[in-house]
Amino acid sequence: MPISIENGIVDENWMLTYDGEEVKLEVKQSNLPQTLFITNRKGFRGRHPWEIFFRILNEFVWFYDITIQDVNGGHGEYCANLNYLPNDDSYAIRLFDFKQQVFKDDQHLALGFFREGVSSGSSYYAFLCYAKILEIPFKDGKSKGDWIDHEIPNLKGELAVSLRDRRVHMLGGKTLGMWLKKDGRDALSHANIQSGKTVRDPNSYQDWDEIKWGNTAMRELAEKVIIEKLGVTNKRN
């Protein structure tokens, strides 16, 4: 059956070369899990084949603007498969000219956290993933903080700008950079309520709402780091 965005993609296969392996993507039916396959008669030379799958998914999520869920599958000495459910399977239509674009470990570390963050469905976990991305290219916390403070005036997303400029009551007199650190990353890392430090409670609507707002800035900053500091091509190109 031919590929159709309107009617879905049914019984289609794509062969992708990735990290020196031939990987097959199989799409059986629209809105159902898709499957990545690898077969290598020589084995995978000590490298787990799922590492290749995860790196492919990094590029799918980044360059094709999808999220993935329900990851499962199996592996052996000479073959492996990974199943996943994308939120939109029409991205596969654009795989006819797919070529690996990301090779460096620090790039894939960042894209792995990005994949996890955007796909998780958890505002708290997404915030922590974006915070980890912001650590990758910097030698220490000061250089990272200086970069964040420099870039916050350049935020472009409507909600991120609103958080910075209009929701000053939520920031409690802090700069946005300080709030993202103290009331965001640090507060999400703490669970000792006896310490007197701010703890983000997953049962609190206010905490959940504020972290969702924080994510509008954190995601934009994380994407900026991936593109400008780690050298990954802008996914919107």
- Following DSSP, what letter does each residue of 129-183 receive, concatenated? HHHHHHHTT-SSHHHHHHHHHHHGGG--SHHHHHHHHT-HHHHTT--HHHHIIII
d(CA 181, CA 131) in angstroms, rounded, equals 9
Q: Which residue has the higher pLDDT, 234 or 215?
A: 215
Task: Assess whether pLDDT exceeds 90 at residue 229.
Answer: yes
pLDDT for residue 1: 40
With cut-offs at 50, 70 and 90, classify the pLDDT of residue 154. very high
d(CA 37, CA 136) in angstroms, rounded, equals 31
With cut-offs at 50, 70 and 90, classify the pLDDT of residue 8. low
Residue whose entry in the numeric block shows the structure tokens 């200086």: 146
pLDDT for residue 2: 46
CA 127 to chain centre: 11
d(CA 125, CA 27) in angstroms, rounded, equals 29
With cut-offs at 50, 70 and 90, classify the pLDDT of residue 234. confident
d(CA 104, CA 159) in angstroms, rounded, equals 32
Per-chain mean pLDDT for the chain: 90
Task: Assess whether pLDDT exceeds 70 at residue 236.
Answer: no
How large is the greatest C-alpha to C-alpha distance in the chain, in angstroms? 62
d(CA 48, CA 79) in angstroms, rounded, equals 10
Nearest Cα to Cα of residue 73 among 117, 44, 36:
36
Q: Which residue has the higher pLDDT, 66 or 235?
A: 66
- pTM of the prediction? 0.90
